[in-house]
Structure 1
């Protein structure tokens, strides 16, 4: 289904995006000049790259190099012979950007609604319309049809009113705040009463722009930019239950889920590998791209110098030097993710032409 007015707007947006990309540069760097590159576990990075090739090889940019990867036994040789490295430099001539973290959360839930499990996890609605124009790719138009016109889909507040009949819960959880953070992470697990684990994967989004509730709390002087993190946000929400809806609803974006046989998967549709996959802004970095990331562990303050693969995206991950580091599953991953707001460099590996 095509809607000329909306497609025109999106194409204009694409024009301005392409113009903005001219303001950034990619500075070529030799592998020998990348601190920590040869000290990293390149064999593990190589295995992750080949795993992600299952999907990324569809992109002509990666087809040949993915095929070539099956002929190599030496990871160092593979990367240095098949790629060139480029440091991303932003429009302000800086090589530093924000690196945050994410994880796979665990919630408690049930397939039946009860007094305890009363917060619905919604599947993809039947009335959600996504433009099928392949030329638009990532800049898809999302909404619903009303009176033969495409209109924006319901906001978070409208969805959580429980008055929209087209919304079908796939299960229920016991914590509204944790459900919100599940949507921020994009996938997770739900433990049932019998200890069975149900995997939830990202199924879609309502098309509304993401807005950080952390930014909202800073703007309203609840926290300073320096002190705020995921843990402090959760503590504040749990201590101010009457303000929860008001704060959460400032982010109109809403994520829908599906039950999956796999643990956490990213936008590339491959299973995410802890500490070896990242989420990026794919206007600047294509999914499947090997990326050497130089940042800092938020807890130990030790350097993180790792070759990872871009395999996911996120509503908050916007900008040329911007990444979300996937920590995995469990309490340590949760703590690191909530605390991480470090700065670092991003060096992309581009297939040789």
Structure 2
């Protein structure tokens, strides 16, 4: 219902303010939309529309996406000509920020892998925690609606809520949390937290999936920026691979660097592969993480990015969030799992343009 009202507000704004350069979301005041013809999207004709239909149908299985695309979700079950279906039923709106800037940043993430055991040992000594039993999550939105996208996390000290343990404090204090497994690399465990999901490959050759469940309440801080600040890496050198290499070459400084990021992620076991904040299993090269303060989860978008003279143009779906994904024109592209995915995610850093794809009938019928 809320999403329907939200879309109605957008529609009314378009009808009444068509001469203005951009339209402002009522619920997202720093997100502006500029209507464009869908045919003008970069290389739109080259899209794999059959693959888009599969992703759209999976996206529609979630409540948030169905609220946005209700009629089209139902119609998509019977579509044969996907390209015509999209051209006739969707309107494209370029996303710009409150300064009318339409260019942001695209990065990539992947399904991480750790080597682990259920038993602690000299080799497997780094615990992967479930959400602590004493972690308190406070939702203030009913009292302060402007804080609807924020949660206060901490722990009880008597009748007071105090900050939860930082990453560094958690190393010297026993957490009131179950240990899902122990892994053999503190570096791999850290990047599992950064990616938000992964596969634990056990010493008995079995494996299981891990997915984000919660975090300790601290904002994500980039250790890559920290290494640049300390003159250990140049800004141009920073990548997932270069950070890993530096940490391996400086084992005596691992704690210093990793603990710069106070944020700590907690996991749960999953039956499927990487699952995003929307609650649906992520699709490589189709799922993106966004800042949900500016873009609704469940949204269908068109993405354009230039990566070392290679253009990425495709329809994607906002199905995840991330601590490092902040801003209006900002996205993190899920690229899959394995060594190739790791290599791509580690070096993916490109200028980005985004278009939101909304149903045309909302404009006509509301």
Structure-2-length-normalised TM-score = 0.86
1:23 to 1:261, Cα distance in 2 relative to 1, 3 A: closer
How many angstroms apart in 1 are the aligned matches of 2:44 and 2:307? 17
Q: Is contact 1:56-1:62 (8 Å) kept?
A: no
Q: Offset at 1:23? A: 4.7
Query: 1:6 matched to which residue of 2?
Result: none
Q: Does 1:99 align with 2:110?
A: no
How many angstroms apart in 2 are the aligned matches of 1:249 and 1:79? 47
SS at match of 2:281: coil
Q: Offset at 1:190? A: 1.0
Q: Is contact 2:69-2:358 (8 Å) kept?
A: no
How many angstroms apart in 1 are the aligned matches of 2:227 and 2:311? 29
How many angstroms apart in 1 are the aligned matches of 2:65 and 2:235? 41
Q: How does 1:172-321 map to 2 (within 5 A)?
A: 172-297=182-307, 301-321=309-329
Write out the 4+ residue segments of structure 1 that deviate beyond 4 Å after TM superposition: 18-21, 132-137
1:117 to 1:288, Cα distance in 2 relative to 1, 3 A: same
Q: Offset at 1:64? A: 3.3
How many angstroms apart in 2 are the aligned matches of 1:254 and 1:39? 41
Query: 2:121 matched to which residue of 1?
Result: 114
Query: 1:152 matched to which residue of 2?
Result: 163
How many angstroms apart in 1 are the aligned matches of 2:174 and 2:124? 19
How many angstroms apart in 2 are the aligned matches of 1:333 and 1:84? 32
Q: Offset at 1:187? A: 0.2
Aligned pairs, number:
333
Q: Is contact 2:66-2:73 (8 Å) kept?
A: no
Query: 1:90 matched to which residue of 2?
Result: 97
Query: 2:335 matched to which residue of 1?
Result: 327
Q: Is contact 1:293-1:305 (8 Å) kept?
A: yes
Query: 1:138 matched to which residue of 2?
Result: 149
Which of 308, 330, 347 matches 1:339? 347
How many angstroms apart in 2 are the aligned matches of 1:20 and 1:230? 35
Q: Offset at 1:133? A: 5.7
SS at match of 2:57: helix
Q: Offset at 1:46? A: 1.6
Q: Offset at 1:80? A: 2.3
Unaligned runs of 5+ in 1: 1-17
SS at match of 1:216: helix
Which deviates the most, 318-327 or 24-33?
A: 24-33
How many angstroms apart in 1 are the aligned matches of 2:285 and 2:65? 24
How many angstroms apart in 1 are the aligned matches of 2:344 and 2:233? 20
Q: Offset at 1:253? A: 0.6
Q: Is contact 1:49-1:288 (8 Å) kept?
A: no
Q: Is contact 1:144-1:153 (8 Å) kept?
A: yes
How many angstroms apart in 2 are the aligned matches of 1:145 and 1:62? 41
Q: Offset at 1:19? A: 9.7
1:236 to 1:20, Cα distance in 2 relative to 1, 3 A: farther
Cα deviation code 1:254-312 (max 9, x no counterpart): 100111111110111111110111101111111111111111346xx421101111100
Q: Is contact 1:214-1:229 (8 Å) kept?
A: yes
How many angstroms apart in 2 are the aligned matches of 1:279 and 1:294? 15
RMSD after superposition: 1.9
Structure-1-length-normalised TM-score = 0.89
Query: 2:14 matched to which residue of 1?
Result: none
SS at match of 2:269: strand
Query: 1:42 matched to which residue of 2?
Result: 49
